[in-house]
Structure 1
Amino acid sequence: MAQAGNNTKIIMKRSVGEWLLSPLSGVYGLLTDVRNWLYDNDLLATQQPNVQSVSVGNLTVGGTGKTPMVEFLIKRSLTAGEFRAGALATLSRGYGRKTTGFRVATASDTADTIGDEPLQLYRKFTSSVRVCVGERRVEAVKSLLERHPETKRVLLDDAFQHRPLAPHVSILLMDYNRPFYEDLPFPGGRLRERRKGARRADVLVVTKCPLTLSLTEQTQIANRIRPYTRPETPLFFAGLAYDAPVSFATGQSVTNLRAVVLVSGLANATPLEQYVRQHYHLVRHDRFADHHPYTRPTLEKLVNDLPADTALLTTEKDWVKLDALLMPAERATWPLYYLPVAMQFLAGQEQAFLAVMDGEWLKNR
């Protein structure tokens, strides 16, 4: 009963906060409306790249599964045999990096130089995909093509609001747990622009769904989304599929983890925590802010605070930053593991999604 009472108080505080901030949300929404109107009416310049481009983005501040979607598109392109090494590239602004300008990832880069998510992509696909960062996307694509004219397709991570660049295909993601149709623009809510911005999407994917989501609920969600999209916009549902934990030391999957301390730096770690709680004995969850810049003292404290016979389990995004802080002997002996995650479309939807994407890619070659 006490827990229920606390939850009620939290909800009430949020509601009051949203009500107090709603006038500012209206002002922010109006400003984004004006900005979008200027681009839509060609009063501010937009450019479409001279290479096939696919944007993956959202309306909401925080994680909606953009990186798993980018990885899905990479794997699809590579599996289909469409590209030789170097012909496929990714581009993001490199959130959290301490550098500026255009960069192509190399073996010497870190999360400080290119950002944690680009580093994650580089470490997974280094031999097959060129990973790039650049806050000015139009200039970044031009620089990429000048240096690497063999590039045939660019996957643009988190570019939905980057209006100077007009992608050939725009994929909009919506977190099942945080639907944009129930949200407000910043600061009263988490929207980067008003809900009607969804009309720019060519494809919409509801992410982080329960993999058992019923057709009835899918229809209900679709009906709530449809007032904000174009009538012809394809709509799909996907969840996250976690694989077996991988050892920092060996890079190999393991099946013997039981008790774990979960460490995460995510915008919304609740789905991850729920999964870990269901499959392991979760001792505690140390939550950090999204894109948290881990330090050596933080890592040492995390390891020193581990109870006996307990492993530290983290995400791929956090792994690339924590691993960089380790000495070789520590990596070999400390009980550190990360949990791979991938986009998984709900039953019967992956092939339909790929058919839509194949059609868009062919149309824009």
Structure 2
Amino acid sequence: MLSVLAILLLPFSWLYAAVMAVRNWLYDIGWKRSEVFAVPLLNVGNLRVGGTGKTPHVMWLVEELLRQGHHPAILSRGYGRRTKGPRLAGPTDSAATVGDEPWQYMEAFAAQGVPVAVAEERRLGAHLLLRYHPEITVIVLDDAYQHRAVRSTLNVLLTEFARPFYDDEVLPAGRLRESRGGASRADIIIFTKCPIDLSLAAQQAAVQRVRRYCQPVIPVIFSAYDYGQPTAVMSETLPLTLPAAGSGPVPALLLTGIAQPGPLREHLEHWGYSIQYQAAFPDHYAFQPADLVAVRAHWRAAWPIFTTEKDATRLLAPELRTALTGLPLYIIPVRVAFLGDGAARLCRLLPEAFASKP
């Protein structure tokens, strides 16, 4: 049900959708050029603004490519960084210079030798990666579904199960970057952040609705978040033991700067924590010392403070070191768990992407 404000904004949404439709049509007929590269480009994106779970899905895909013996690289826009232009992430970089998500990739895959680059114009970033890393056999694009200046070999479209694109409207009345018809470009659609015990009936109902916007042969699969054990952000912080069953709720704080912190809070409460205070900042938020001073005002000794891997990349900025001193800050790692045979169905598409590379 649309709000009154959303209804008033619908004419602007129709105009924006029309502009995007013309743009896509120009790419479809070849009037606007999509650059082709000598290695496959695997694109993980969405139609909706905000967090649909791209980062853990990109990481799952990179881990699978490594397992299969490929030499992947990751290319992102680098949203929120203080630099401009194409840039290879290196050991002297940080979330400030390449963005929080690319720096998270850098930390996760540096040991495996996975190059990470950022570029507003993805074609420039792809050229940069291939110039300095000729061993690359595949590039994983993070959030480039609408970036059609490069031709993706495989389009992985994510949509939140609780906020599916087919129940949304185009900006500014809704949160879609383009019309629902953009799903027709997908090679696979993944419903993300699903309950781990999502019934087959609920899955089938979602598949029926999404089929209005994609080809019948396109696989539609479902994924859930798999939360790992808490790990200390600061080396001097003691390891954390989860609450024992039946021991009663344990007070804790939650500090986030992501689009959708709700699922993490729910999981912490399922573990047995009682969130006494949640400092929820906008996605990619650049934390300031004053923010941590405010968090400290709500904190009591022995209460753990939880955050995400993505937020930790920004919280470790040198200017925050003093404000963090003494706070028991813990990361909750997030990975992807596919429901049913979802992982196998996604894996089956990878050889096809390599076989169809230019």
- The two structures have a TM-score, normalised by structure 2, of 0.92
Contact 1:248 1:331 in 2 (8 A): no
Match of 1:7 in 2: none
For 1:225 and 1:275, the matched residues in 2 are separated by: 28
Q: Does 1:185 align with 2:170?
A: yes
TM-aligned CA deviation for residue 231 of structure 1: 1.9
Name the stretch that deviates more: 296-305 or 211-220: 296-305
Q: Residues 2-41 of structure 1: matches in 2 within 5 Å?
A: 15-41=3-29
Give, in whole Å, the separation in 2 of the partners of 1:247 and 1:76.
Answer: 27
The amino acid that maps onto 2:314 is K
Is the counterpart of residue 254 in structure 1 residue 235 in structure 2? no
Per the TM alignment, residue 352 of structure 1 is displaced from its structure 2 partner at its CA by 2.4
Match of 1:278 in 2: 270
Please state how far the C-alpha of 1:150 moved relative to its aligned partner.
1.5
Task: Give the deviation of 1:298 after TM superposition.
Answer: 1.7
Aligned to 1:351: 344
Task: Give the aligned residue type for 1:354.
Answer: C
Taking a change above 3 Å as real, the CA distance of residues 235 and 256 of structure 1, as seen in their structure-2 partners, is closer
Which residue does the alignment assign to 2:48? 60
Contact in 1 for aligned 2:309/2:331 (Cα 8 Å): yes
Partner residue of 1:115 out of 93, 96, 99? 99
Q: Contact 2:186–2:214 at 8 Å: present in 1 too?
A: yes
- What residue number does 1:310 align with? 303
**Alpha carbons 2:153, 2:356 under 8 Å: kept:** no
Alpha-carbon contact 1:57-1:66 (below 8 Å) kept: yes
Structure 2 gap ranges (5+): 244-249
Cα distance in 2 for residues equivalent to 1:292 and 1:57: 21
| Letter of the structure 2 residue corresponding to residue 139 of structure 1 | L
AA in 2 matched with 1:213: L
Q: How do 1:106-145 and structure 2 match up within 5 A? A: 106-128=90-112, 129-145=114-130
Alignment check: 8 A CA contact 2:289 2:323 kept: no
Residue 211 of structure 1 and its aligned partner are, at CA, apart by 0.7
* Counterpart position of 2:333: 340
In the alignment, structure 1 residue 297 sits paired with structure 2 residue 290 = yes
Residue 17 of structure 1: how far off its partner (Å): 1.4
Change (3 A) 1:23 1:331: closer
Q: In structure 2, the residue corresponding to 1:224 is in which secondary structure?
A: helix
Taking the aligned partners of 2:299 and 2:318, their CA distance within structure 1 comes to: 17
- In the other structure, the counterpart of 1:5 is none
Residue pair 1:49, 1:167 contacting (<8 A) in 2 also: no
Distance 2:63 2:190 in 1: 18
Alignment-derived partner of residue 315 in structure 2: 322
Post-superposition CA distance 1:257-286 (Å, at most 9, x none): 642101111112221221122222211211
CA-CA distance at 1:252 after TM superposition: 8.9
How far is 1:60 from its partner?
A: 0.2
Deviation digits for residues 30-56 of structure 1, max 9, x if unmatched? Answer: 111111111111111111222121000
Amino acid at match of 2:202: E
Classify the secondary structure of the residue corresponding to 1:228: coil
Among residues 138, 142, 147, which one is paired with 1:153 in the alignment?
Answer: 138
- Aligned letter for 1:264? T
AA at the equivalent of 2:104? Q
Count, aligned residues: 349
The answer for the alignment partner of 1:71 in structure 2 is: 59
Partners of 1:97 and 1:25 lie apart in 2 by: 29
CA contact (8 A) 1:47 1:164 kept: yes
C-alpha RMSD of matched pairs (Å): 2.0
Conservation of the 8 A alpha-carbon contact between 1:295 and 1:325: no
Following the alignment from structure 1 to structure 2, what is the Cα–Cα distance between the partners of residues 216 and 360? 31
Paired with 1:337 and 1:326, the residues of 2 have a C-alpha distance of 19
Structure 2 CA distance, aligned partners of 1:256 and 1:270? 20
Give how far 1:364 is off.
3.2
Q: 1:331 to 1:183 in 2, by over 3 A?
A: closer
CA deviations 1:273-331 (Å, max 9, x no partner) are: 21122222211211100110111222233234312321110011101111224777887
Taking structure 1 as the reference length, the TM-score comes to 0.90
Q: Indicate conservation of the 8 Å contact 2:38/2:357, yes or no.
A: no
- Deviation of the 1:126 alpha carbon: 1.1
- Aligned equivalents of 2:268, 2:3: Cα separation in 1: 30
Most deviating of 120-129 and 164-173: 120-129
In the other structure, the counterpart of 2:247 is none
User: What 5-or-longer segments of structure 1 have no aligned partner?
Assistant: 1-10
Deviation at residue 221 of structure 1 after TM alignment: 0.4
Q: Counterpart of 1:44?
A: 32
**Identity across the alignment (%):** 37
- Name 1:212's counterpart in structure 2: 197
Matched residues in 1 for 2:38 and 2:357: separation?
A: 11
Cα distance change of structure 1 residues 287 and 327 upon mapping to structure 2, 3 Å threshold:
closer
What residue number does 1:4 align with? none
